[in-house]
Amino acid sequence: MSKDASMANDYHINFSMQELNKILSLVDKIDASKLVDREKIKVLINSNQYIEFISKVVDVQQRHVVRYLRELMLEKIFWDSIEKPLQNISELSAAGDLRFNSITLYLLVRALAPDVVIETGVAHGKSSAYQLAGLHANGKGKLISFDLPASGNVALDGSNTDLAGYEIGHFVPPYLRHLWELNIVDSLIGIEKISSVKNKRVLFFHDSLHTYDHAKYEIQLIRDRVSLIGIIMDNYDMDCGLALQEISDDAQKEIYICKDMGILLF
Ligand SMILES: C[S@@+](CC[C@H](N)C(=O)[O-])C[C@H]1O[C@@H](n2cnc3c(N)ncnc32)[C@H](O)[C@@H]1O
């Protein structure tokens, strides 16, 4: 089933396009000989509008958002561990976020301090690594992730899932893996088997198949099992975004949009 992509939604709060373009152009100018992701954090710390936006989304003071970013910047073990995988995947397509969505994800995990994050779509594991770094810094929480065996086929949403021979989630540093449960199974099958998250504060990060139907079923399956504190959706501008809009309409809650990431908190 396909939905009308022009479906109206009164509850969108967008990060300033002008500021986004400014950030992206600064990110693009980062010297490739540096650890690019760590340099991105400096760009974000210097964007008052980004700090203000995230602070509004998660309802924490701006100084805490800055503190989270500084703490990540100082997490030497994290940067030492991801330097090589970052270099390895930087040349590949379908490598996950190469700009700054993973850092936004880290901030959301820090501020919302979930007991559990459910993630669909791992690929190289960049988003997984940043969420795990957030849980690690919080001193609580675990990540349950789902992905299909890497096939190299073009998926229904047009994405290419080829990992160029790398293992799913290879990006995730060893020191974070005890917080991680990686399930190699279709998310729609795997989610049905989740049993250990009753009475927990659960955050859902969707980044698997970006079709309306798939996202809708994933969200439905999860909401039938747990009470979510929020849903974060990468590639919100694709058909999957309509599934999030429907939830937002029902709940009469805003979707915050930062770059192509949609964030709906309950
Ligand atoms: C965009 S990539 C994920 C990128 C990752 N979240 C990141 O930012 O680093 C999408 C992933 O979703 C996975 N995927 C697609 N359909 C799926 C399904 N039905 N169940 C689980 N994973 C699926 C693909 O195999 C692919 O690895």
**pLDDT, tens digit (0-9, with 9 covering 90-100), for 60-77:** 999 999 999 999 999 999
Secondary structure percentages of the chain, helix, strand, coil, to 5: 45, 15, 40
Instruction: Judge whether 5 lies within some domain.
Output: no
The CATH number that applies at residue 154 is 3.40.50.150
Distance CA 219, CA 42 (A): 34
Instruction: Judge whether 151 lies within some domain.
Output: yes
**pLDDT, tens digit (0-9, with 9 covering 90-100), for 176-205:** 999 999 999 999 999 999 987 888 999 999
Full domain range(s) for residue 229: 12-265
**Domain tally for the chain?**
1
What is the total residue count of the chain? 266
Pocket of ligand 1 (CB under 6 A): 96-97, 120-124, 126-127, 146-148, 155, 159, 161, 186-187, 207-209
Instruction: Judge whether 237 lies within some domain.
Output: yes
Taking the centre of ligand 1 as the mean of its atom positions, its distance from the CA of residue 101, in whole angstroms, is: 15
- CB distance 261 to 104 below 8 Å: yes
Instruction: Judge whether 3 lies within some domain.
Output: no
Instruction: Judge whether 234 lies within some domain.
Output: yes
Instruction: Judge whether 119 lies within some domain.
Output: yes
**pLDDT, tens digit (0-9, with 9 covering 90-100), for 146-176:** 999 977 778 888 887 788 889 999 999 999 9
pTM equals 0.94
Sheet holding 116-120, edge to edge: 12-14, 255-258, 261-265, 228-233, 202-206, 116-120, 142-147, 180-184
Q: Give residue 141's identity as a one-letter amino acid code.
A: G
Q: Which atom of ligand 1 is nearest to the CA of 168?
A: 27
* H or E element, residue 262: strand 261-265
Instruction: Judge whether 230 lies within some domain.
Output: yes
Instruction: Judge whether 133 lies within some domain.
Output: yes
